[in-house]
Structure 1
Amino acid sequence: MSSSLSPAPLRAAHVRLSDVHLSFGRRPVLSGVDLAAACGDRVAIVGENGRGKTTLLRVLAGELAADRGEVHRAGSAGVADQRIPLGATDTVGALIDLELAAVRGALARLEAATVALSDGCPGADDVFAAALAEAEALDAWDADRRVEVSLAALNAVDDRDRPLGTLSVGQRHRVRLACLLGAGHAVLLLDEPTNHLDTAGLDHLTERLRAHPGVVVLVSHDRALLKDVATTVIDLDPSSDDRPRVYGGGYAAYVEARRAERARWESLHAEQIAERQRLAVDLSSAQNRLRDNWRPPKGTGRHVRATRAPGLVRAVHRRQEELAGHVVAVPPPPARFAMPELPGRRGANLLRAAGVTVTGRLARPVELALESGDRLVVTGPNGAGKSTLLAVLAGDLEPSTGTVTHSRAARIGRLGQESDLPGRRTATELYDEQLARAGTSGPGLGELGLLAGYDRRRPVAELSVGARRRLDLALMLARRPHVVLLDEPTNHLSATLVDELTAALGTTPAAVVIATHDRQLSRDTASWPRLAL
């Protein structure tokens, strides 16, 4: 394995992966990843949760070393992952300075080189030229202004003395994202950058990524962003030969090619299963014939039947060899999401909110009533109170004014944005416990198609963010709710699962309320009523 992460002018920025492999313990995470991207390329990493998308970003950032293969990156990198690198007592200004450390360092080196040049120090010309090239590559003089523009566009806090502990998770991530968009890095490595952004923020992010002159590599569940931005897609999901795929032509071309490839995969797998079954039938038939003729009864034809026995033995052996050699080489495609049957109560008022407000969080009084089969999309900018409203409707938060009434028999299920699951329990244990608590029978966790067997048996603390999100969804569905409340349901979920979930939500008998900024989900639910906050 070799790795090279080197500085370079922005115009020379590129990333290259060749046959990269990485395992955690005995579990392969990345297997045979190839990628080449240069200036102007915007690469989307897609795949189901737990397939190694974030891990691949960390390899590109130099935080993880590959077990085998070559990794090369030229140009400074700005990394936006799901972790904020500072603590609650640090300030917004400290976070800005940390994310602009490369800019600050470049300007400091240029200033020192300028002094050395004016003092006539030996070799100062070369040092000054290198320092100037570095500062120019980052456009360092304009970095703070660019950050201020992005802070405003992303509706992020710009008070540099404000402690991070006083900000919401979303506000902290927006500050960090604004810094990365303004820092002038040659390579941007972004993990779910659309989380916590409203419509204006999404538009700004899209514009900045499309205009970025270097290389962009992003992991995102936001299908609209991928359609608008990606020039190349690398798919880490299993394939018929268990190798990652790289698709050119943008996200739309990837979706079409992937759909066609999956259809071929399913067809080939079915053909191999059918052929193996046919061989098994032929083998059974040959064995029956051999049994009938191996010990022929006394009397007429005994000699004829006896002479046929060796041929039948050879036929049985040949069929056995064919069957042994005809192992199903093409693995089955990944499971699809299977929405459990949720209950409906036609004609009954399941939930009603009258004049609901929450001081400092939900200013506009909300009036709504839900019956089985009702659909509603809650919209509004960050801070308008969408998450607050869903918490109030679920009974998890008391309103300051107004009332919320539930039908006595109605079960309410809410999927929040943040997961708060006990870390030591396994996914299966939590799901089975939820089924027992709800007092309803239902499909097992494996039948939902949300978590692979490996993840179902692991402690929750060891699951990826996406896998925990899938588990949260499974636990909510295990309650068999009459009313489903979904707060940004596409966060951390793969595009494939989002498509399957969206289709299922459109047909379930339960009432469904979605709060989202996801532009594609908004388009897919365009026929649903809207509540604008």
Structure 2
Amino acid sequence: MPHLKATGLGHTHDGEPLFTGLDLTLNPGDRLGVVGPNGAGKTTLLRILAGDLTPTHGVVTAGTRIGYVPQRMPDPHGTVGGWLAGGLGEIGRVTARMRELEQRLAAEDVLDEYAAVQDRWTALRGWTTDTRLAEIRQRLSLGHLPDDRRLDQVSGGEQARLLLARALLDDPGLLLLDEPTNHLDSDGTTWLRQWLAGYHGAVLAVSHDRAFLDETVTRIIELDGIDQTPQDYPGGGYTHYREQKQKRWERLLLDYEAQEKDRRRWEADIATTKAHALGVENTVRSGATAPHLRRVARLVARKAKVRERRLRRQMAAVSWIARPRTRPPVTLAFPGDTAGTGDVLLHVRGRAVTRGDRILITGRNGSGKTTLLREIAGEHPGTVAVLPQTDDGLRDATTVMDFFRARVPVYIDDAETLLTGHQFDTDQWDSPVQDLSSGELRRLLLAVLVNSPARILLLDEPTNHLDFAALDVIEHALRRYRGTLLFASHDRYFADTVGHTRHWHVDDGQVTGD
């Protein structure tokens, strides 16, 4: 039996179909990536496969235990230790019970129960539990968190890594991962790829991490937000998907152009036939021709109508190709800095930042990169514009329009134009920021950043939660940006594409590099 099978899967949101007709089979060892623009239904698909959401159409059958890693902590009221112990399954429950009985042995007669629990603990190889916990906590940069720390007191990035840690500890037969590398550093991402390489179960990952997709998955399904039927790209990861998508687009365009040429020929032929029929009929009415031409006129007119009906049927047929469509791109054009390069703009821990610098900041999670960027922003208010790593403290009842205008001082008409350029429709202007998806909030923050008067940009993991279209746009815009840029990123595709002139490495709060 396959680990998971979905048949005729489809889902509708607010009366609009997100996707339809998805057939999917996952067997042990399968590695599937799901990609697509924000809002196309990727997270919805994961929730359906995990059993958290009932599909509008179709059936999902699971043949194994599923580990689902969402983007957000479902219940942030527990503790770090309790959350991780929940991922250990039976061994976690047995260990907890054994520890409890150990505390009661001196005062109560629980020796028989303790012996039985200890035997079960031994059978489950419970002595490996602490080692597994320690390794995963270390690899995911969670070792500094005490077991009694409340989940609502850890950062959004730490919560994301705790979600991943619990799923890996559970060792399910199928892993459903929603943006698993968003809050991992380079070492953590490398470790996750290695762990997945030795994992015998199936993996389905929603991800925009291009390197992760290239090195982990062997098949990609795209929900493109336009076609209701998901597009399947077997045989490779991100690079293969982009090549095949480009070829598919070119084929569609060629087919469409050929179809349009054929349609124009048909329409011209029909028009010529109609004109011929009308000319013959007018001649017959004038009485200048023989009566048999009446039959000719009727036959020509009937031929024109038959051809016209055939063309209409062909255009209405499923096989008729619609004009190839793409989603409108995010509008990003960072304002440049017209002043000359070389001027010292600010000092950071003894290092001068000059006009036009492009500084890449690297380091492990918890090393102090975000602290460094916050320090710069705090010391130079109004001079720099900041794109934060997480949405901590940003999600409240403030509307999208009010959030934007509080940070970009423009008239409301101009704000409406600017938000529209960043793909915020009129029905979203009054939506609370707390209701936005992670990708939508990221776009809103980018809209603020682009329209800021600051000419020094501080970007903290700027690729988090962005889809491929948005990544292409922001990379292109930043490559052309002529201001001063400091950015912390673990995305090597992004760092290579945007380019940098200097490199700082942060380790335990200390900055090294040029």
User: What is the TM-score normalised by the length of structure 2?
Assistant: 0.77
Per the alignment, do residues 416 and 213 of structure 1 end up closer, same or farther by CA in structure 2, a change over 3 Å counting? same
Contact 2:359 2:500 in 1 (8 A): no
1:61 aligns with 2:50: yes
Looking at structure 2, the residues matched to 442 and 458 of structure 1 have their Cα atoms a distance apart, in angstroms, of 14
1:382-401 alignment runs, 5 A limit: 382-391=365-374, 397-399=377-379
Looking at structure 1, the residues matched to 286 and 162 of structure 2 have their Cα atoms a distance apart, in angstroms, of 96
Contact 2:141 2:366 in 1 (8 A): no
Alignment match of 1:321 (pick from 304, 309, 331): 309
Identity fraction in percent: 28
Per the alignment, do residues 144 and 277 of structure 1 end up closer, same or farther by CA in structure 2, a change over 3 Å counting? farther
Question: Partner residue of 1:155?
Answer: 141
Question: Partner residue of 2:459?
Answer: 486
Looking at structure 2, the residues matched to 379 and 199 of structure 1 have their Cα atoms a distance apart, in angstroms, of 9
Deviation track 1:136-188 (CA, whole Å, cap 9, x = no partner) reads 6xx76534421211111222134112233332111222233223223322222
Looking at structure 1, the residues matched to 3 and 150 of structure 2 have their Cα atoms a distance apart, in angstroms, of 36
Per the alignment, do residues 288 and 491 of structure 1 end up closer, same or farther by CA in structure 2, a change over 3 Å counting? farther
The letter of the residue matching 1:330 is A
Contact 1:143 1:184 in 2 (8 A): no
Looking at structure 2, the residues matched to 267 and 204 of structure 1 have their Cα atoms a distance apart, in angstroms, of 44
1:181-200 alignment runs, 5 A limit: 181-200=168-187
Question: Partner residue of 2:109?
Answer: none
Looking at structure 2, the residues matched to 24 and 240 of structure 1 have their Cα atoms a distance apart, in angstroms, of 15
Contact 2:2 2:25 in 1 (8 A): no
Segments of 5+ residues of structure 1 without an aligned counterpart are 1-11, 120-127, 357-363, 407-411
Secondary structure at the counterpart of residue 241 of structure 2: helix
Looking at structure 1, the residues matched to 88 and 498 of structure 2 have their Cα atoms a distance apart, in angstroms, of 40
1:517 aligns with 2:503: no
Per the alignment, do residues 352 and 30 of structure 1 end up closer, same or farther by CA in structure 2, a change over 3 Å counting? farther
Deviation track 1:94-149 (CA, whole Å, cap 9, x = no partner) reads 2222333454247789999xx89x99xxxxxxxx9xx999x76xx76534421211
Secondary structure at the counterpart of residue 58 of structure 1: helix
Alignment match of 1:380 (pick from 363, 369, 382): 363
Number of residue pairs aligned between Structure 1 and Structure 2 = 485
Offset of residue 48 of structure 1: 1.7
Query: After the TM superposition, which of the residue ranges 336-345 and 192-201 deviates more from structure 2?
Result: 336-345
1:94-133 alignment runs, 5 A limit: 94-105=82-93
Secondary structure at the counterpart of residue 161 of structure 1: coil
1:84 aligns with 2:56: no
Question: Partner residue of 2:326?
Answer: 334
Offset of residue 223 of structure 1: 1.0
Secondary structure at the counterpart of residue 256 of structure 1: helix
Secondary structure at the counterpart of residue 506 of structure 1: helix
Looking at structure 1, the residues matched to 439 and 396 of structure 2 have their Cα atoms a distance apart, in angstroms, of 16
The letter of the residue matching 1:152 is Q
Per the alignment, do residues 453 and 46 of structure 1 end up closer, same or farther by CA in structure 2, a change over 3 Å counting? farther
Question: Partner residue of 1:417?
Answer: 389
Query: After the TM superposition, which of the residue ranges 313-322 and 212-221 deviates more from structure 2?
Result: 313-322
Secondary structure at the counterpart of residue 234 of structure 2: strand
Contact 1:19 1:69 in 2 (8 A): yes
Offset of residue 511 of structure 1: 4.7
Per the alignment, do residues 425 and 285 of structure 1 end up closer, same or farther by CA in structure 2, a change over 3 Å counting? farther
Question: Partner residue of 1:8?
Answer: none
Deviation track 1:320-366 (CA, whole Å, cap 9, x = no partner) reads 4355332553352323636454443434469954333xxxxxxx444
Contact 1:455 1:467 in 2 (8 A): no
Offset of residue 416 of structure 1: 2.7
The letter of the residue matching 1:418 is T
Per the alignment, do residues 300 and 496 of structure 1 end up closer, same or farther by CA in structure 2, a change over 3 Å counting? same
Contact 1:143 1:182 in 2 (8 A): no
Looking at structure 1, the residues matched to 401 and 450 of structure 2 have their Cα atoms a distance apart, in angstroms, of 14
Per the alignment, do residues 429 and 33 of structure 1 end up closer, same or farther by CA in structure 2, a change over 3 Å counting? farther
Contact 2:87 2:170 in 1 (8 A): yes
CA RMSD, Structure 1 to Structure 2 (Å): 4.5
Contact 1:78 1:180 in 2 (8 A): yes
Segments of 5+ residues of structure 2 without an aligned counterpart are 102-111, 507-514
Looking at structure 2, the residues matched to 312 and 524 of structure 1 have their Cα atoms a distance apart, in angstroms, of 63
1:367 aligns with 2:347: no
Looking at structure 2, the residues matched to 281 and 455 of structure 1 have their Cα atoms a distance apart, in angstroms, of 45
Looking at structure 1, the residues matched to 327 and 174 of structure 2 have their Cα atoms a distance apart, in angstroms, of 35
1:411-490 alignment runs, 5 A limit: 413-419=385-391, 420=394, 425=399, 436-437=410-411, 463-478=436-451, 482-490=455-463
